[in-house]
Amino acid sequence: MPPPNFFPRLRKLCDKYGILLIVDEVQSGVGRTGKWWAIQHWNVEPDIICIAKGIASGVPMGAMAARRSIGAQWKPGAHGNTYGGNPLAAASALKTLELVESGMMQNAAAQGAYILDALLEMQARHPSIGHVRGKGLMIGVEFVMDRATKAPAKEMRDQIVHRCFERGLLTLGCGKSVIRFMPPLMIPRELVDEGLQIFESAVADTERQFLRL
């Protein structure tokens, strides 16, 4: 998560020197953060957006959106894409966009806010939880050995992922000691609550092992 003024200042810097602002929305786009594109949370318009993954619900497809003034300059062959589209991927993408627009994006925003609030409350009860950050259904929970030093707790994080798996919750580690929450955009509240309960029980058990609480 960048500071609030990062993208607006980056946009001004690009405009000042005539640089194209290209954003990678492969993971964060198509409603994942509660808006069509994560960059919209900072009211910034890029020049080019890279899109894939969520656009076709897992069917291999990649796309790129650019300002008309940029695309008009390209001649045939100037741009290519291995997963640019085929009948199956195109049909999947069209249906995905329809579903996202008809309620899933709003659900991502609502459920994401609920998860973020729950994790922040959990943070107060568990000293191993460091920084909690995210937008919509793209949330990261950092694990530390000590909040003062912010020393990453990689082994603890890995054990939490394993314990969650044993209890029926799939989580994904990323970075040095972070666990990501990226459930489906249509996830209902009851499954969110079940997942949060499993997650906290795994955190509590692991803290007792590593921090001897």
Residues 48 and 74: beta-carbon distance below 8 Å: no
Which residue, of 102, 122, 149, is where some domain finishes? 102
Residue 137 belongs to domain with CATH number:
3.90.1150.10
Structural domain of 203: 104-210
Contact 179, 203 (CB under 8 A): no
Per-residue pLDDT of 35-61, as tens digits, reads 999 999 999 999 999 999 999 998 999
What is the reported pLDDT for 1? 87
Across residues 147-152, what is the average pLDDT? Answer: 93
Task: Choose one of 102, 130, 154: the last residue of a domain.
Answer: 102
Our count of domains for the chain comes to 2
Instruction: Give me the phi and psi of 141, to 5 degrees please.
Output: -120, 120
Residue type, 110: A
Element of type H or E holding 16: helix 6-17
Same domain, 10 and 76: yes
pTM for the full model? 0.91
Residue 29: alpha-carbon gap to chain centroid: 8
Residue with tokens 């990453």: 152
In-domain check, residue 37: yes
In this structure, are 98 and 110 located in the same domain? no
Which of 77, 102, 127 is the C-terminal boundary of a domain?
102
The per-residue pLDDT for 213 is 64
Q: Residue 1: inside a domain, yes or no?
A: no
- Answer yes or no: do 126 and 53 share one domain: no
